[in-house]
Amino acid sequence: MNPTDLIGPVSPLGSPAPFWFITFFKVLGFILHMIPMNIWFAGMILVAVFAAFGKNHSLELAHRLSRTMPVIIALGINLGIVPLLFTQVGYYQFYYPAGVLIARAWLSVIVILIFAYYGVYVYSLGVRNGRRTKFALISAWVSSIAFIFVGFLFTNNFSLMANVQDWIHIYSRTSVGGAALGTGLNTADPTLFPRWLMMFGIAMTTTAVYIAFDATFLKKRDTSEEYRKWAGKFAFVFHTLGVFVFAAMGSWYIFGTLGKPVLDQLNHSPVMYFVFALTAISPGLVWIVMLAQRKSVRRNATIAAAVLQLVVLTLNAISRQWVQNEEIFKFERVSELPVRVQWSPLIVFLLLFVAGLAVVGWMVTKIVAVERSEAGV
């Protein structure tokens, strides 16, 4: 049987936006989502470990991370809406079947997230007589493991989307009367584990940069000189570990599991070859900056690290999009489907997007002013 037999018909409504527009917002949205998502993905486990075993500075780090974590999670979940929305517009023939085949796991994401998120609150509000309660400590563990597991489920769906060859196997293994039970997972796909863990590696590096950023800029008056020294060193160590994980998993992914057609395509596209190379080495640039502040966090170095980390995430998002397109174009050139652009809603959206940024910007200037005046700057 031909894998393309399982791909559903094209929507008669036509795509509401040009493909480049969909791709642009999908990638942009994913970058914006990755920043906060990375911090809880790799940061919550630090909270759990240090809350249980840390002392002094590491305990302080757990405390500081958990204080902003609820806000980071709320933002990150909302920022995840846009890439998912544009995935459903541009890649619906792939997204829905993959979701249905793993429906139980996919729906469980929602339940797990509710527990994981409340767990974060239980941890940050669970202080009795100046100490964390047992329940709070356990909650931190539950949350951090839950978040890592949710990452695994996301990798499942997004790798299965492009792994059309395996659909029929999962379908025949897990269907009743031709309907999917939704009990499948994409575990037969060799790219699954490296993809999941590669993201964990990137998340470690983002979290490391965030730790330096937090020590440098957020609630500075709560921190001591010693803490900032310690944070610089710890962020460097954690970043180094993250780079290792990223490099190891990235190599496994690209050289061990990526299909030959995609690799061939890469070799034939000098631009993408270059972008891939940059994607691979960019964490190294951040690492050099982190190395420079390993004795203590410093303002300029932190800003440089944050900007460069944004570049790392952007390159990652672009490379991922390219691979996804290459894998999916084999089955359907989704970029060439009929388009019926909805101009006026599109323009209204763009205007609101800009206006929304302005409103958020206004509120942020107000709180920055408060922070400054309270710090006596």
Partner 1 sequence: MHYPWWYVPNFTAPMLIAGIATIHVFVSLYAVGGGIVLAGEVSHAYRINDKSALDYLRTHTLFFILLTVVFGAITGVGIWWTIGLASPLATESLIHIFVFGWAMEYVFFVIEIVSAFIFHYYWGRLAPNVHATVGWIYAVSAYISLVLITGITAFQLDIGNWTPEKGMWSAFFNPQTIPQILARSGASLLLASLYIYLHAAFKLKNHPQLRSLIENRISKWGMASAALVTAGGAWWYVNIPESARSALAGASALNILTALIFLASAVVFFMLYFGPYRHPGWLNPGFAILYFLLGIAATGTGEFIREGVRKPYIVYNYVTGNNVLVSEIPKLQATGYLNGGVWTKAYMRQQYPRVMTTDGNIDYNKLLELPTTDQLRVGEVLFQYHCNDCHSTRGFSGIDRLTQGWNKDMVSTVVTHLDKAHFFMPPWCGNDTEAALLTKYILSLSEPAPPGMKFSYAGDSEDGSTTDVIAREEKNR
The candidate with the shortest Cα–Cα distance to 64, out of 47, 88, 76, 83, is 47
- The least CB distance from residue 92 to partner 1, in Å, is 5
Candidate ranges 138-146, 268-276, 314-322, 365-373; the one touching partner 1 (CB under 8 A): 365-373
291 vs 370, which CB is nearer to partner 1? Answer: 370
95 vs 246, which CB is nearer to partner 1? Answer: 95
Handedness of CA 114, 195, 164, 81 (dihedral sign): positive
Per DSSP, what are the bridge partners of residue 176? 179
270 makes contact with partner 1 (CB under 8 A): no
- The least CB distance from residue 38 to partner 1, in Å, is 18
The Cα 148–Cα 194 span in angstroms is 14
The Cα 191–Cα 251 span in angstroms is 11
Size of the site for partner 1 (CB under 8 A): 75
Residues in 163-182 that interact with partner 1 by CB under 8 A: 168, 171-172, 175-182
375 makes contact with partner 1 (CB under 8 A): no
139 makes contact with partner 1 (CB under 8 A): no
Write the interaction track for partner 1 spanning residues 36-75; mark x where CB under 8 A is met and - where it is not: ----------------------------------xx--xx
The Cα 186–Cα 102 span in angstroms is 8
The candidate with the shortest Cα–Cα distance to 325, out of 335, 317, 315, is 335
Lookup: tokens for 313: 């995430």
Count CA atoms closer than 13 A to 295's CA, side-chain side. 1
Residues in 181-200 that interact with partner 1 by CB under 8 A: 181-182
Candidate ranges 108-116, 147-155, 270-278, 327-335; the one touching partner 1 (CB under 8 A): 108-116
The Cα 130–Cα 38 span in angstroms is 29
The Cα 260–Cα 31 span in angstroms is 27
Candidate ranges 104-112, 142-150, 274-282, 324-332; the one touching partner 1 (CB under 8 A): 104-112
Candidate ranges 85-93, 187-195, 228-236, 258-266; the one touching partner 1 (CB under 8 A): 85-93
Lookup: tokens for 159: 């790798």
267-299: b (≥16 Cβ within 10 Å) or e: eeeeebeebbeebbebbebbbebbeebbebbbe
Beta carbons of 142 and 87 less than 8 angstroms apart = no
- The least CB distance from residue 367 to partner 1, in Å, is 6
Q: Judged by CB under 8 A, which of 31, 49, 59, 100 binds partner 1?
A: 100
The Cα 61–Cα 47 span in angstroms is 8
- The least CB distance from residue 213 to partner 1, in Å, is 18
94 vs 252, which CB is nearer to partner 1? Answer: 94
Beta carbons of 168 and 10 less than 8 angstroms apart = no
- The least CB distance from residue 263 to partner 1, in Å, is 30
135 makes contact with partner 1 (CB under 8 A): no
Q: Judged by CB under 8 A, which of 24, 52, 54, 121 binds partner 1?
A: 121
Residues in 287-346 that interact with partner 1 by CB under 8 A: 340, 342, 344-346
248 makes contact with partner 1 (CB under 8 A): no
Residues in 193-232 that interact with partner 1 by CB under 8 A: none
Q: In a 3-state reduction of DSSP, which class is residue 8? A: coil
